[in-house]
């Protein structure tokens, strides 16, 4: 299996055929936002290919001059799930970005959200921790959802370094009023995620 960079046309098709069904609307960026970032070389879509067949995908936020990749979405194609492809993709991503200081992302905190979803949140977090990721040293809240920051990368990456990169990526890609209202990086101990309030501000 191998990773191949997807074109804007391939990402658009993937968005319609897979991402819309795999992710809740409130967790899914608009396709236009992804394509705009891709045109600016700030977003990369990678396909996991098994021969000529697309079996999975990873979408990552990049920032020129910053040696970190933010894992935005990771998924497998319908019909190829529960085959260990997520582990394969994470290992391949580590090789793909071997010159970076790390790949990091956000996993929903087990104690956040609805009680009926807690077990799923714990499983997702455990998946990343079993596959080379470690706690990045701080939590965050994005659009009212509580996350733990995770990183797979160099051992000398400090929470302070990661925090500065995390803040820079988000603050550089959205209006200040949206960032100030909906992005809490870090989420301090005892602090609660901000309420969603006016959803019309999102994705401006």
Secondary structure (3-state) at 148: strand
Q: What is the pLDDT of residue 197?
A: 57
Residues 132-174: pLDDT tens digits?
999 999 999 998 889 999 999 999 999 999 999 999 999 988 8
pLDDT greater than 90 at residue 113: no
- Cβ neighbours, 10 Å, residue 54: 19
Distance CA 204, CA 60 (A): 20
Q: How far apart are CA 83 and CA 30, in angstroms?
A: 29
C-alpha angle 41/43/134, rounded to 5°? Answer: 130
Under 8 Å between Cβ of 96 and 46: yes
Q: Are 149 and 166 in contact (CB under 8 A)?
A: yes
H or E segment to which residue 123 belongs: helix 118-130
Return the ∠ at Cα 29 (arms to 27 and 35), rounded to 5°.
160
- Rounded mean pLDDT, 80-109: 94
Domains with residue ranges and CATH for the chain? 2-199 (3.40.630.30)
pTM of the model: 0.91
């Amino acid at each position: 299996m191998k990773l191949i960079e997807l074109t804007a046309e391939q990402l658009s098709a993937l968005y319609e055929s897979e991402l819309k069904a795999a992710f809740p609307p409130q967790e899914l960026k608009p396709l236009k936002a992804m394509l705009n970032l891709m045109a600016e070389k700030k977003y990369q879509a990678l396909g996991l290919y098994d021969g000529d067949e697309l079996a999975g995908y990873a979408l990552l936020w990049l920032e020129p001059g910053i040696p970190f990749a933010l894992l935005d979405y990771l998924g497998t194609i319908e019909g190829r799930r529960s085959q260990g492809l997520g582990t394969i993709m994470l290992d391949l991503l580590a090789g793909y970005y071997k010159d970076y200081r790390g790949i990091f992302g956000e996993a929903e905190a087990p104690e956040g959200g609805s009680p009926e979803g807690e077990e799923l949140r714990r499983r997702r977090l455990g998946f990343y921790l079993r596959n080379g990721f470690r706690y990045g040293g701080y939590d965050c809240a994005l659009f009212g959802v509580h996350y733990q920051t995770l990183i797979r990368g160099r051992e000398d990456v400090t929470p302070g370094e990661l925090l500065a990169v995390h803040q820079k990526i988000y603050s550089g890609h959205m209006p200040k009023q949206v960032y100030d209202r909906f992005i809490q990086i870090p989420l301090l101990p005892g602090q609660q995620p901000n309420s969603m309030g006016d959803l019309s501000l999102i994705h401006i």
